[in-house]
Structure 1
Amino acid sequence: MLAGRLEIASRTFTVREVPVPEPGPGEVLVRVRAAGVCLSDVHLIDGDLTPAFLGAAEVTLGHEVAGEIDAVGSDVHEWAIGDRVVLQAGERCGVCPNCLRFREPCLAVRTRGVDYDGGWAEYALATQHTLVAIPDELPFEQAAIVPDAVSTPWGAVTGTGRAAPARPAGVWGVGGLGVHAVQLLRLIGAAPIVAVDPLPAARERALEFGADVALDPADPALRATVTALTGGGLDVAFDMAGVPAVREQAVRCLGPGGRLVLAGLAPAPLTIENSIALSVRRQQVLGHYGSVPGAVEQLITLVRHGRLDLARSVSGTVPLADAADAVAALRDKTGDPVRLILVP
């Protein structure tokens, strides 16, 4: 089968033939129908991110995956060949204290397409407990992005950031993560919603997805505009871009007790220009990664009942063989994509 493989030491990415894996006990083999291209994949290829738990020299990329079950291993009884599924973006390690003794989030989650082989391939292995059924009316291309592009901002909005109805929220960076953060903030009733992005097309998109106002970060009056619009500052701000300058600007736009949530990944140091003001105003800076168990199921339910529309999120499809072109397009923001989808 074809697979998009990354050699970690050299950061060499190639699409080439590899053996089709066979499902073991508790595993299923999924015929991949769609796989999202995420900025995290670009960071992996560029060397900004390094797998923490990968026990091999290379890995098949891809943590946003949807398809049909093609084969099942032993001890798999709840899934059948032909079932339409989306794959969770990772799974519990099974060895940390939270996995062994407590019913709490895993302390060392293994990420699909990072710490073990993912879905930039014609077939992908998955343990049965990482599968979520998807309805027939949900296209694979839209389902594939739920485990990260939608569930990560969902976790940031409803969990880490504790966004609330009728409370002001801001989103910096309206790309693959940020545009869904705007959409989800609108869904839960946050108001007003302020979107910030340097690209005019992204600002227009933010308004289409539910922002009340979309601002250019280069506007010298940005802070004053946000303060006036919100009556004193944002309750919560989300950095979806992973840019140091974004974080400094977002902190300045927080109100008393406000929270900055770092969902965009960045290797650069985190600096706070005036930490005294941060302490006096009792503000917080919070890291965020992924989502909690059950998030993907919640989002699929919202889609099924018409509360969440992902049709606008797919910017285009690219053959798996041309995965390198999709990576370049996302890196260079060619066409300002929300999500490009690889199709085997």
Structure 2
Amino acid sequence: MTKRKATALDVARRAGVSRSAVSLVLNGRANGNVTAERQERVLRAAAELDYTPNSVALSLRNQQTSTIGIITDDIVTSPFAGRLISGASRTALARGYMVLVVDTEHDMSRESTAAQQLVHRQVDGIMYATGSLREVATPAAMLTLPAILANCTDVASNLPSVIPAEVDGGRAAAQLLIDLGHRRITLLTGTLSSPAAPQREQGYREAMEAAGLGREQQHVHASGWDIDEGYRAASSVLGGSHRPTAIVCSNDRVATGVLLYAAAAGLRVPQDLSVVGYDDQQNLAANLVPALTTVALPHAEIGATAMSMLLDAVEGKATAAGHTDAGTLRVPCHVIPRASTATVPAE
């Protein structure tokens, strides 16, 4: 015979409290209404009876569906930034919410439709997340619900956003090499179409300036974002007689191109040349030979933080914007030291 599922009344009887007290405790509204001792009894009874509230009944009562919509540009259909969705999903699940993810594959015409459909399905809030840092035009339907942006900012500043601290990341990459004694450090910037590139360059220049290395000693070279572009950039900056002793790359794919060129040119990494990537891309950075020192983009933390802020807004604990400085929260980017960096080689 199937065991009968415990009810709130069963919990109330075991805890020796009223049915309404059980409801207040399990719905997070007990403080000021139920004593701490009775709250403990309710929680203990619920655990002993393996009781969980009926989510459908709660949704009807609270006029919420405990569902969050996530719109992405290409995160689901590309190999990058998947940790952002993982971080957001884990945070939502831990707080009793499910997520619906719609990936537009960079088709902007699908963004408005996706937002409208999520609103029609009565999600409690919407997150818009991008694989790479960029500005977005927020779909109008998102403004009708609690909403937040992850790894992107709103061109009209209508919504709060959670993004990586790219200036700090660029500064940390350069500082690591400076601390290892390097002074001839070249930055491969990527392309200025991404707002990340100038921010990382700003951090690089700030670290160089602080080390007494002025503009004439700062070497910035436009590269791109892919392996072949890294290879071509390396052939340009490493081909002269006064080559750098270290290179900071726009991302881990460009760093891969630099490592390939260095091997072809007979340069040993890190004995002759130190290389720093950016992203800590899964299945790449740690598996290169040598393993790549890199700046980790905190995708999981961005997703988790943005989801937590959004759920706070949904539950009325705070507005999402209340957690941010001027609508934007920046999550630190940390250096992951590995085998591709070492002290400056002897002249």
Q: Name the TM-score class by shorter chain.
A: 0.3 to 0.5
From the CA coordinates, give the structure whose radius of gyration is larger: 2
TM normalised by structure 1 equals 0.34
> Which structure features the higher share of helix residues?
2
> Which structure features the higher share of strand residues?
1
